[in-house]
Every structure is written in structure tokens, then in C-alpha cells.
Structure 1
């Protein structure tokens, strides 16, 4: 019997200083969020983690469920109502039963009553299915939280800025989760942070010190020291 994979995209790089509102219609860059098959069609074949997840699921012969795909340009906080409109379809899909959840997230999404939207998303899925394997991909400008780390099985992030390796990050996360499902690996998460506020103008991996750290992360992956390593310099706005 084929596995059933839930694949969803919810992304917003929130700038709490922005004068621009973030209504539901802004997700989809003016077209609104996509649900069900429309979510799959909107992102298939794109340079995104979601597209990588879809390709991996087809390769595995899995049943694919795409409850939502929604992303917006940077702007101010979304409302709780907008957030619930995006998250509840994912919860419904997980409650219906699945073998794994693959999430294409940002990592710096803020809503009106929660500073850690991604942490809430993953925690809510974990509450529904305590043993569910969950993969999450994150933007380079992620504000990583304990809730996100403790409730995900696999996390990978972009290593480029401008971001051109989104598909690559999704492929890595998805492949690791499938290998875990197959019993080939047992991922263990390790993370840490420094009390530093790095200028977003010096986040490019071509510059130091970010470049040195990203190069070291790539080296550890290539040498098999870790399954995945990611620098997440944060988004201070």
C-alpha cells in the first residue's frame, strides 16, 4: 500500500516595521492561497522545496495530499484569522491520516498574537500526531525557535543569498525524511544560537563571517559528519 504524504507551503517573511498589511489575498502574491490540487499545480516544477517534495513523492509512488500553498511578499503581521485559514487545512489532512508531513516554511513569520508562527504550525501537527515524521525547510533568514526544533524530525535551510538553492534544500529534507521512514537513519537534531544581531546586508555567503560558516556546513555534509547543517542568520525586522 503506498504511503500518504501531506505536503504544504506556508511562507511569509514578516517585517514588523512595514506599513503594508498582510491580508489573506496577499498570499499568492495577490491571487490568494491555493488549496488542494490547485496548490500542487501552482508550485510543481518550480525552484521551491515544495516542488522537490512533490518530485520525491512521485518517485516514491506515494499518495500526495496538498492542503495549502500560500506565500506572500514581506509585509507586516498577518491576522490570526488569516493564519487559521492557512493552517487548519493542514491539520485536517493530518487528522485524516498520513505517513509523513513535508513543510515548506519561511522561519520568520509573525502573526498578530504569535511571534513564532512556524513553531506553532509544527507544534500543532505534533499535538495531532505525536509520532508523525515531519520535515521542514527554512529560509536563510529564519528566527529559529526551540518549538520548531523540538517538534520537527528533519530541518534544512537555504545556503544561498540571494536564494537560489530552495529546491536543493527541499530535496535534502525530503530525502532524509524518507530514509528515516525506511529505517535507514535516525535523525537527531542539534542546534544553538548566539546573542548576536547580524546586519542583513552582510548575510551573503560570499562575505565573511557567514561565508566561512556556510562553507564549513557544506564540508560537514559532504564528509558525512552530519546529515544536514544549516546557518540561519535570522531576520531582525
Structure 2
């Protein structure tokens, strides 16, 4: 085996077949035998690199995403990735565990993720892309690469950065087996599917399977490197944009679609089937629903599977459209039902969908209706945070709260309250969503006004874990109403706390009515803008 390996590298310039394919041809009879831990079937210790570049980009948000936005959430380099993500239920956490479990030489390059917001600036993307490319080039001979991507990133002047990144990485190392994982809300391009060997998407929303999805992709990558399988991605884009409000995977239309895909995964040599709901706030050519089947090359079942799933999606698309109440109606419903605590969820200002978390209609309505027993998570307003901190705990403070990102979604609310707590805004998730991950909201203050405790933050991200309250001195079970800038991710973290969830139709950049957005680049016809 060692001689064969040496001969391969000696004559590699004249060979058109990469090592993993050569191994597959030579050792096909051994494919059912247990692979060597930490080595392929040629006895070579495996080297697998990792990079994460993760952002969901809202084309209609005025908040550009620069490098500071990545620093606010996740920007870790090389060996720091091991220490930061160890014992976390994340994609990077899965990679850290995987290389240890299988005795693989790991080469983490970067983990860069920013919270959903506007387009990524060109300079920021080029810096991150070049960092990945240069480090991959410096690694020399490696056996595989795992990329954790979102799939709905948009860059100034580049509508398909995932495809662009893969193009560059293929230019550097054309024959390296590449596995990628994508968010359920990815706008997958044909280029992304074709330039990756293995593509696995989340199957849950709220996304609680990041770790499992990464592990699945890595295991398949290991089999590919060892010559046990020869995977290929089969791709289908549908002319459908879906609002994500009713895309939950525990019940409803998306759950039925995911379960049907899982049924087909039981077929021999069908390795993975991903149905992507897409992210409708990206004004790009590749927007919308897609299906990716990762299967053995020349698998005859794939065409029928994609056809069946496409028809099923077409039949169920209307079920994704839902009506939700305006703030006054939602509050009255909560007060009438008295199921405490009830979550009033401001979905159009959800940071996880690109919202700014500073629209004010829900807060204003709670104040106008004189509702008591409310904890409000949260208003992102660095100016108000700074003023509250300067006044100090226990002191009164007058604020023009929120409404600073865009006057389209409500003017600031003038309040006078008492500063209750001040924290650094840092905590670690304890619930099922990204368990163990460090969350940083920046400096944070709680200001109390008549019956309402308002969390004010410098940062902006979805409040997906009860620690958003507890870290700031508030016990969520003590309140009648938890008003939240969220959509669906929070549900798993709060499932043992909240008795009722009422989504609220307030103004915001992530509104559910897609016909109101000024699209310019999406393909037409497309549902629901067109009747197809």
C-alpha cells in the first residue's frame, strides 16, 4: 500500500484520476469492510480542513454587513476554533469532535458568521474569501474539505458568493473532495451544487440539528475519501418563494415534505435529500425553493424522487401562507385567554430574518393599552443603552427608544423609566438551539416603566434562549407576556416556559407579504408574486 501511495504521488501530474477515485476503483471489493480509523484504505493518515462562512443577507435592509458584524458574532481563526466550539452543538463543534473521534489531522481555517442583516460589503467578503483560499493553498496536500455555509449570502456586486467561493477553491485544489452543509433557508445555486461533492442541509426549523447535519456530511466525506462511495449532487430549483413563518418542521407542510424526503433516503445509495425553503428577502436570480439529492453517481432513482418531491411542494405551497393578528388584536387575544406566559412575537422585526430589532409599534401598543406584567426582549438601541449606563442602576432615565434604523417602521417611543440592571450582554446558550454557544449582545440594560421591563442592547440577534432574560436579572416565568423580536427559533428554548405563542403582524423589514417588496433581480414568473 505504501508503495502504491508513493507511486501515485510520483505520477500524479500525469494521472487524471484523484486519489479517492483511484482508491475506489482498486479497493471496491473492500468497500463493505470497516475503514481504518484516521486513514484511508491506502493507510494514509487523513487530513481534513474546515472553514465556515455564514451569513443570511437581506437585500432590502439598509444595514450593511461589514467585518465588525462578523466580529460581533463569530470570527475565529485556526486553533482558536477548537477551544471556542468544543462541547457546542454546532457545525464547528461537530468538526472538532469528528477529527478527535476518527484520529484525523484537522486543519481549521476560519469560522466567520454574522447575524442576518443587509448585504455583505465587497471588501469584507473578499478578505474572508482570500483568507480561506490562501490558507488552503498553504496546506498543500489534504484529503478533504468541509465547508459550513449558509447558502443565502449576498455580497455587494456578487449574488452567489457561495458559488464564487467554491469556484476559487476548486481552482486551487480541483480534485479535493468537498462536503458542504447549508441552512434550511439557503437559496441554493446550481454552481454550489455542482462544485461540491456532498451537500447536506438542515432538516429542522427551529434549527436544532446543526451538529447532526455536520456529522452526517463529515461521515459521508470520510467514506468518499476512503473510496467507499462516489457521491454526486443532483439539483432542482423551483419557481417558488416561501415565507418562513409556517416552515416549522415539527408539524405542518414543511414537516410533511421533510418526512417524505427521509422516506426516500432509505433507498440504497441515496445518501441525503435536502429540501431548502429558501430565503425570500434576497433579491437574486437563485432565490427560492430547491431540492438537492446526494446519491451514488448514475443512480436511476434520483430523477423520480426529485419529480415526486417537486410536485408535492407545488401542491403544498399555499399552506405556507398564514394570516397573523395586528398588535392590538394580538394583545387583546392574549389578555382574553390568560395563558401565562404568552409570547407576543414581532416576526417582521426578527433579527434572524434581517430585522433591526428597533421597530416600535408592538412596544407602543403595549404601553397605550396599559398592559402590565411584560418583559420585552428586546430593543437594539446603543444610544439608549449608553444613556442608561451613564445614569446607573436605580436611577431614572428619559429615552427616545428605538425607531432609529428606519422611520418606515415606526418613530422612537418616548419613555421615562428606572434602570433596573446593567450587564455585559454575554451568556452561553443552555437550551437545545446551539447549546453551549457563546452569545454576545454587547452592553445591555433593563429599563422598567409602568409594568413593562424592557431589555435594551447594543447588539442585534434573535433571543433564542431563556438566558436573554435570566442573564439580565429577569425570570421569564414571572411574567404574563414575553414580547420578543423573533420568529420561530426561540420556540425550542422556551417550550417548557411559554404556554401560548401569538405571532404579531407589525411593520418591519422581514414582513410576510412578499408582494410588497421591490424585487428587481428575481426570476419571473415566480410564486407568490405570479399565479403559477
CA distance in 2, matches of 1:185, 1:230: 19
Equivalent residue, structure 1, for 2:83: 41
* Higher strand residue share: 2
Equivalent residue, structure 1, for 2:185: 141
The secondary structure found in structure 2 opposite 1:229 is: strand
- Deviations for 1:103-122, whole angstroms, at most 9, x for unmatched residues? 01100001101111111111
1:123-142 matches, within 5 Å, as 123-142=167-186
Larger Rg computed on CA atoms: 2
Q: Which moved more, 1:145-154 or 1:77-86?
A: 77-86
The secondary structure found in structure 2 opposite 1:196 is: coil
- 8 Å Cα contact 1:197-1:236 kept in structure 2: yes
- 8 Å Cα contact 2:56-2:153 kept in structure 1: yes
The secondary structure found in structure 2 opposite 1:5 is: strand
Equivalent residue, structure 2, for 1:101: 145
Q: Which moved more, 1:164-173 or 1:44-53?
A: 44-53
| TM superposition shift of 1:19 | 2.6
- Deviations for 1:177-215, whole angstroms, at most 9, x for unmatched residues? 100001111102111121111122122223443222100
Equivalent residue, structure 2, for 1:77: 119
CA distance in 1, matches of 2:267, 2:73: 43
- 8 Å Cα contact 2:57-2:119 kept in structure 1: yes
Which segments of 5 or more consecutive residues in structure 1 lack a partner in the other structure? none
Whether 1:209 and 2:253 are equivalent positions in the alignment is yes
RMSD between superposed Cα atoms in Å: 1.6
Equivalent residue, structure 2, for 1:50: 92
| TM superposition shift of 1:59 | 2.1
| TM-score of the superposed pair, with normalisation by structure 1 | 0.94
Q: Which moved more, 1:222-231 or 1:212-221?
A: 222-231
Which segments of 5 or more consecutive residues in structure 2 lack a partner in the other structure? 1-43, 282-532
The secondary structure found in structure 1 opposite 2:166 is: helix
The secondary structure found in structure 2 opposite 1:169 is: helix
- 8 Å Cα contact 1:50-1:103 kept in structure 2: no
Equivalent residue, structure 1, for 2:109: 67
Whether 1:15 and 2:53 are equivalent positions in the alignment is no
CA distance in 1, matches of 2:74, 2:91: 20
Q: Which moved more, 1:227-236 or 1:114-123?
A: 114-123
- 8 Å Cα contact 1:65-1:93 kept in structure 2: no
Higher relative contact order by CA 8 Å / sep ≥ 6: 1 or 2?
1
Summarize the Cα distance change of 1:44–1:87 in structure 2 as closer, same or farther, 3 Å threshold.
farther
Equivalent residue, structure 1, for 2:201: 157
Whether 1:3 and 2:40 are equivalent positions in the alignment is no
| TM superposition shift of 1:23 | 1.6
Q: Which moved more, 1:2-11 or 1:135-144?
A: 2-11
Q: Which moved more, 1:140-149 or 1:218-227?
A: 218-227
The secondary structure found in structure 1 opposite 2:133 is: helix
- 8 Å Cα contact 2:48-2:145 kept in structure 1: yes
CA distance in 2, matches of 1:18, 1:224: 44
The secondary structure found in structure 1 opposite 2:245 is: helix
The secondary structure found in structure 2 opposite 1:33 is: strand
- Deviations for 1:98-146, whole angstroms, at most 9, x for unmatched residues? 2111001100001101111111111111111111100000000000101
CA distance in 2, matches of 1:43, 1:83: 23
CA distance in 2, matches of 1:174, 1:192: 23
CA distance in 1, matches of 2:81, 2:157: 27
1:192-203 matches, within 5 Å, as 192-203=236-247
